[in-house]
Amino acid sequence: MRYILTMLVVVIGLNTGFAQQKRTEIQTKSSLAIRYYNAKDYEKAAPLLSEVYKTTRNSTYYRYYINCLVNLKRFDEAEQDIQREIKKQKTVRPEYYVHLGQIYKSQNRSEEAEALFRQAIDKIPASKGSFLTTANTFLAWGDYGLAKDTYLKGRQTLEGEAFNYELARSYLYLRDYDNMMEEYLNLLRESEKHLSRVQSSLSSAMRLDIDNGLRNQFRGQVLKRIQSEPGVIGYNRLLIWFFLQEKKFSSALRQSIALDKRTGGEDMQIAQLGDLALRNKDYEQAQKAYTYLMDKGEQTPFFPQAFSRNIHAKYLEYTDEGKGNLEQGQALATDFENGLLYLGIGPATLNLVREYAHLLAFYLNDAEKAIVELEKGEKIPQLKPEELGQLKTEMADIYVYANDPWEAMLIYSQVIEANKKNTLGDEAKLKKARLGYYMGNFSWAKAQLDVLKASTSKLTANDAMELSMLIGNNLNLDTTAVPLTMFAKADLLFFQNRPDEAMLVLDSIADQYPYHTLVDDILFRKAKIEAEQQNYTLAAEYLNTIVTDFSYDLLGDDALFMLAELYNTTLAQQEKAKELYKQMLSNHPGSVFTEESRERYRELRKVYPDKEELFMEGKESLFERAIDNSEF
């Protein structure tokens, strides 16, 4: 018995080893075959593909093999091979008739090819899998119309199988957007569970929409369905999704509220809509979304979140757009005070505490009260080191604002000591080094900044490198450090929210040292100040000068990205912004702004496609593949 068991183990082991060896061999040959195929070396690819197909019986390899023979113009060989395959089959495989038809088509034998294609469709067995396989074969050869005919035949033949999704894809390839939309909407009528699939497909389709024809058609067809079939909620959700894709938050919110009044269950959707509007700086619609949720009453689960987010939205709106309005700032301070009184000061409201303190100090010039509010936050029990560090960092910033640099230096040091294992520690180190720079301790500051170049936070490392290079490039050029000292003073004034005074100092440097290497840095600081003052056109002029005359310098990518952001958001010139993001990807691939530029470029390309780089017949362009493979 032991001998038999031992022999069985040996035999099984040998078989397993042989099978593994065989799999490895097939994988090697298939990989090599595909490499030759993609390189259009059909002479080498053909025999390998034939061998892999005979081993695996995978029809994809067979189609590649036949295509090799077509490209090599070995039509007779291809025809004979397909005929042999058809004779071998015990059951009808219509896809092989499609392959044979392609051979005839390649020889301009159109009538014979068409007859074979129709024969293939007629021979499809009455199963969904067979219809899908045949249609996919047509799609693989680029015959989208015949794929459509296959699905329509399947709809007639198979009871309960509508092939809506598959037909929609065929209509997309045929640029028949009207029928494509009808199929997607029919799919939604069947079940709302198809919503995400439909959204994903439509998102891809809209990338092809050069003249907005699909977008206009989409809106009309969906609205018509909503009116004629009000019971299908999926139509409403699809329309809301569309408005969000277009960043039409007002329309999306209006539809969401209308839907909520029907279902009573859209609170999460409306809260997410508010957050999305807020991220896109549509403060009005964000606040409307939060206010709607608050108006539903304190008993609703989303009330505290909406209450807090509404104050946060008002704060962002004020600091971004209305900071010169003292009355508005005081009203916002009252909202913070009432909000913290209602919600309480705790871990969930730390951000509100920090924002309230920042508002008090930097915009209402009440640093003393700001410190008191932060001290209240520090007393919250069991705060994590990072949470406490965020409050302390804000407190140190306020001491810098209030011209108490030594207290600020001490607090930054406390934050660094308590946050050695997270990025907040590095952020505090950067702030401490920058404070040394403000104070004129340039050599010490540079030494600290050089260490921070290795920070795990890419933004911190980038900021440290830029400030270090600013100091290094300008400290030893003259016998005096006056220009750099003046520039540091301007930076401090800008940090202290005193832009007019900062601008005067920058102008003084330009007047007294017109040929100093700080010229591009001065332009960049002026651009930032003008942008803060909402003088966006003037800011863009400064940035354009840097991009044109100093693109090779350290601030080249910073200026280019900031300019693109201005055109994309405040100046509403999205097509120009798209080109600038694309320029960033090409000219500054190693920039810290590369990922954001890639994301923005992709979003804008959906609305403003590159006409020479669009999908052609459902295939991606080289630039598209490069973008998606992160080569750009």
pLDDT tens column, 39-49 = 999 999 999 99
pLDDT tens column, 352-384 = 999 999 999 999 999 999 999 999 999 998 889
**Number of C-beta neighbours around residue 545 at 10 A:** 17
pLDDT category of residue 272 using cuts at 50, 70 and 90: very high
- What proportion of the chain, given as a percentage, has pLDDT over 70? 91
d(CA 465, CA 355): 28
pLDDT category of residue 588 using cuts at 50, 70 and 90: confident
**Number of C-beta neighbours around residue 164 at 10 A:** 21
pLDDT tens column, 273-293 = 999 999 999 999 999 999 999
- What mean pLDDT is predicted for residues 100-124? 93
pLDDT category of residue 477 using cuts at 50, 70 and 90: low
CA atoms within 13 A on the CB side of 3: 0
Residue 510 pLDDT > 70: yes
Non-local CB neighbours of 476 within 8 Å, separated by 6+ positions: none
Confidence (pLDDT) at 168: 94
The answer to whether 205 touches 177, Cβ cutoff 8 Å, is yes
Q: Enumerate the H helices of 453-498 as residue ranges.
A: 458-475, 482-495
The answer to whether 253 touches 289, Cβ cutoff 8 Å, is yes
Amino acid at 429: K
DSSP string, 544-571: HHHHHHSTTSTTHHHHHHHHHHHHHTTS
Rounded (5°) CA angle 612-616-175 = 115
Q: Which residues in the chain are classed under CATH 1.25.40.10? A: 518-632
Confidence (pLDDT) at 324: 67
Q: How far is CA 110 from CA 66, 114, 118, 140, 184, in A?
A: 18, 6, 12, 19, 33
pLDDT tens column, 328-358 = 999 999 999 999 999 999 999 999 999 999 9
Confidence (pLDDT) at 614: 44
The answer to whether 580 touches 563, Cβ cutoff 8 Å, is yes
Amino acid at 552: Y
Residue 629 pLDDT > 50: no
DSSP state of 318: I
Burial grade of 535 (CB within 10 A; 0-12, 13-18, 19 or more):
middle
Confidence (pLDDT) at 632: 39
Residue 616 pLDDT > 50: no
Confidence (pLDDT) at 210: 65
- What proportion of the chain, given as a percentage, has pLDDT over 90? 63
Confidence (pLDDT) at 355: 96
pLDDT category of residue 526 using cuts at 50, 70 and 90: very high
Helix axes 574-587, 556-568, angle to 10 degrees: 160
CATH superfamily of 518-632: Tetratricopeptide repeat domain (1.25.40.10)
CATH code: domain 384-500 is 1.25.40
The answer to whether 32 touches 47, Cβ cutoff 8 Å, is no
Residue 625 pLDDT > 60: no
pLDDT category of residue 624 using cuts at 50, 70 and 90: very low
pLDDT category of residue 147 using cuts at 50, 70 and 90: very high
d(CA 255, CA 270): 10
The answer to whether 29 touches 48, Cβ cutoff 8 Å, is yes
**Number of C-beta neighbours around residue 349 at 10 A:** 20
Confidence (pLDDT) at 630: 41
Confidence (pLDDT) at 631: 39
Confidence (pLDDT) at 268: 95
d(CA 252, CA 90): 56
Nearest to 550 by CA among 587, 519, 576: 519
- What mean pLDDT is predicted for residues 110-123? 93
d(CA 297, CA 185): 36
Q: Enumerate the H helices of 212-349 as residue ranges.
A: 213-228, 233-245, 249-263, 267-279, 283-295, 303-317, 326-343
Give the residue with greater pLDDT, 473 vs 451: 451
Structure-derived torsion over alpha carbons of residues 68, 71, 76, 81, reported in degrees to the nearest 10: 20
Q: How far is CA 314 from CA 294, 328, 352, 545, in A?
A: 15, 10, 11, 34
Confidence (pLDDT) at 322: 66
Residue 628 pLDDT > 50: no
